[in-house]
Structure 1
Amino acid sequence: MRLSSLALATFGITAMTVAAFAASHANPALEGPVKARNAQMGMISYHTGLLGSMAKGETPYDTATATAAAENLAAAAEMNRAVLWVEGTEQGAVAGSRAKAEIWSDAAGFEEKAVGLETAAAAMVTAAGTDLEALRGAMKGVGDACGACHKPYRGPKN
């Protein structure tokens, strides 16, 4: 029996739709950690952006705002990773994830990088409340810590 081009096209579209549905509903229990860590990364990005804007002179330096942003950055960096970075939530397994499998295959390296961000964020809390030059100096540590983790452990945007 020969299938017509229309039948083949219909079959192909149906197969892709089923596959996409299955992938997006593979394990709803794993979607929560991905959403939570994306929110965590959003908070880190937001507060780093506020501090960076001051460091670059795009917005005026304000001790209270800088301190609040740095404290929030530090709190976000210190969140318990056990409930956020759940094995099986790597990129391609759960929608919205950019986590590379290396996070779990090199857990010690990932933990080291995460602690590096905690350390840099803690230094930022002190620097942000000191003066603009101290804040500027601490920005390098935060930026380096972010990059040190993103390069080996974050996949490309989908």
Structure 2
Amino acid sequence: MKKLFVLPLAASLAITAIAGSAIGDGHADKALQAAISARQAQMKLISFNTALLGDMAKGAVPYDSATASAAASNLAAVAKLDRSILWLEGSVQGTVDGTRAKPDIWTDAAGFDKAAQGLETAAAAMVSAAGTDLASLQASMKAIGDNCGTCHKAYRGPKN
């Protein structure tokens, strides 16, 4: 009689554990996908504001100090978003769909943080320069481009 009670109890516990694991995995997948979507939105905002500043620097659009200042302020604000909630471990290219993040982001966390801080510094300098005049904006663009390129070469995988 004791076996008749233990077997269904064990089966119920096993099913509960499996279901709980599946729910937990589903939540983890949602968290990873949400973080990936958020950091991709961050990168789009960085790209949008950098392109606007770059177009002014190249003369593709007329220089406007108010617009340049706004774009530089946006760039600086977005560049310093807290990375700890955007770059969740396990959200690596090849492991999760829709990301180009290399594992080096986590295996070389100090290097990744240094690269991200480089963009923060360059963006902060751009805030001062962008609204001053075209020559100041142009001089600050190199640091923005260099920092973006450095990070992308080291920490972004190829397009799938």
TM over 0.5, yes or no? yes
Q: Does 1:35 align with 2:17?
A: no
1:38 and 1:154 map into 2 onto residues whose CA distance is 12
1:76 deviates by: 0.6
2:152 and 2:138 map into 1 onto residues whose CA distance is 22
Matched residue, 1:81: 83
2:158 maps to a residue whose letter is P
Q: Aligned to 1:115, which of 114, 117, 120?
A: 117
1:88 and 1:68 map into 2 onto residues whose CA distance is 35
Give identity over the alignment, percent.
Answer: 63
Flag structure 2 segments of 5+ consecutive residues without an equivalent: 1-25
1:114 and 1:29 map into 2 onto residues whose CA distance is 22
TM-score (normalised: structure 2)? 0.82
TM-score (normalised: structure 1)? 0.83
Contact 1:67-1:128 within 8 A present in 2 as well: yes
Matched residue, 1:6: none
**How many residue pairs are counted as aligned between the two chains?**
134
1:27 deviates by: 1.8
Flag structure 1 segments of 5+ consecutive residues without an equivalent: 1-24
- Structure 1 segments of 4+ aligned residues over 3 angstroms from their partners: none
Encode CA deviations 1:120-153: one digit per residue, 9 max, x unaligned: 0001000101100000000000000001100010
Q: Report the RMSD for the aligned CA atoms in angstroms.
A: 1.1
Contact 1:34-1:94 within 8 A present in 2 as well: no
Asked which structure has the greater CA Rg, the reply is 2
Q: Aligned to 1:101, which of 95, 100, 103?
A: 103
Encode CA deviations 1:13-65: one digit per residue, 9 max, x unaligned: xxxxxxxxxxxx78222100000000000000000000000000000000000
Contact 1:103-1:110 within 8 A present in 2 as well: yes
2:103 and 2:44 map into 1 onto residues whose CA distance is 21
Matched residue, 2:21: none
2:34 and 2:116 map into 1 onto residues whose CA distance is 20
